[in-house]
Structure 1
């Protein structure tokens, strides 16, 4: 059996209020537009998750809400806030459910995880930078999310919001 992972970095956040703690920064206008475009792209491509694992930060929550994917089971594990690659994998092992998981998190862990989860990286120029809103769709040859392992996934698709909004 194959499980599908959609790995997304949050959309562009606002720095308008320098007094806000990092965890509380919202999306800016471009980020809101990007989240909507990414949601439309996911729906058009039929990359629809069964469950969502989302960092509890405001910008990741707002990115998920902006995707407008409907009502889905969502968990907000504290561990995903600026998680390392190993923590992201552990979180997927512990909380992954269904055939397709959308995982929303932050760099640098998100970029490193994207590179390590696949057998070979996507040839997109932005793959290693993993800019805001970057989204990887990868198939993992596992029966259970607990079996997900580094260097096992096959890239299905990769996109950055600028390709959808510019």
Structure 2
């Protein structure tokens, strides 16, 4: 059996209020456009999540809120505090407790970029993969029956996209 992971860094957030707590930052206008654009691209390519697990930061939840209307109402969504600025090991532990496939995981850099790199046997040939910019999205597949059996280095990259590429195509 094949398991599929959609790994999304939150969309671009605002730094307008320097006194605002990091956890409470919202998306800026670019991020508000990027999230549904990525969701549309995922949908067009058949990458439709069955389960979503997201950091509890406002910017990740807002990213999902802007993506969700493009996916079926049956998608399960879980807020996971452990994903807020999580290290790759913590992200893997959260993934191992997921039940469905595909899973869409929403998180933050630098952890999400490192997690993506460590999950794959070979990185995708993409200039932005090592930077993992805002709203960067990796689609990866794993051979296995259960997320509990997944480990680093076991994934194969299926797709990788950044919002800029979608804007260039318009």
Q: Normalising TM by the smaller chain, what interval?
A: over 0.9
The match for 1:85 among 84, 88, 94 is 88
Q: 1:25 to 1:70 in 2, by over 3 A?
A: farther
Three-state SS of the structure 2 residue aligned to 1:52 is strand
TM-score normalised to the size of structure 1? 0.97
Shift of 1:92: 0.6
Three-state SS of the structure 2 residue aligned to 1:35 is helix
- Count residues with an aligned counterpart: 165
TM-score normalised to the size of structure 2? 0.95
CA distance in 1 between counterparts of 2:101 and 2:63 reads 22
1:14-33 aligned at under 5 Å gives the runs 14-33=14-33
The match for 1:139 among 132, 138, 141 is 141
Shift of 1:12: 0.1
CA distance in 2 between counterparts of 1:70 and 1:46 reads 12
Shift of 1:70: 3.9
8 Å contact from structure 1 (residues 50, 97) kept in 2: no
Correspondence for 1:121 = 123
Which 5+ residue runs of structure 2 have no aligned equivalent? Answer: none
RMSD after superposition: 0.8
Indicate the larger mover: 111-120 or 64-73. Answer: 64-73
Correspondence for 1:107 = 109
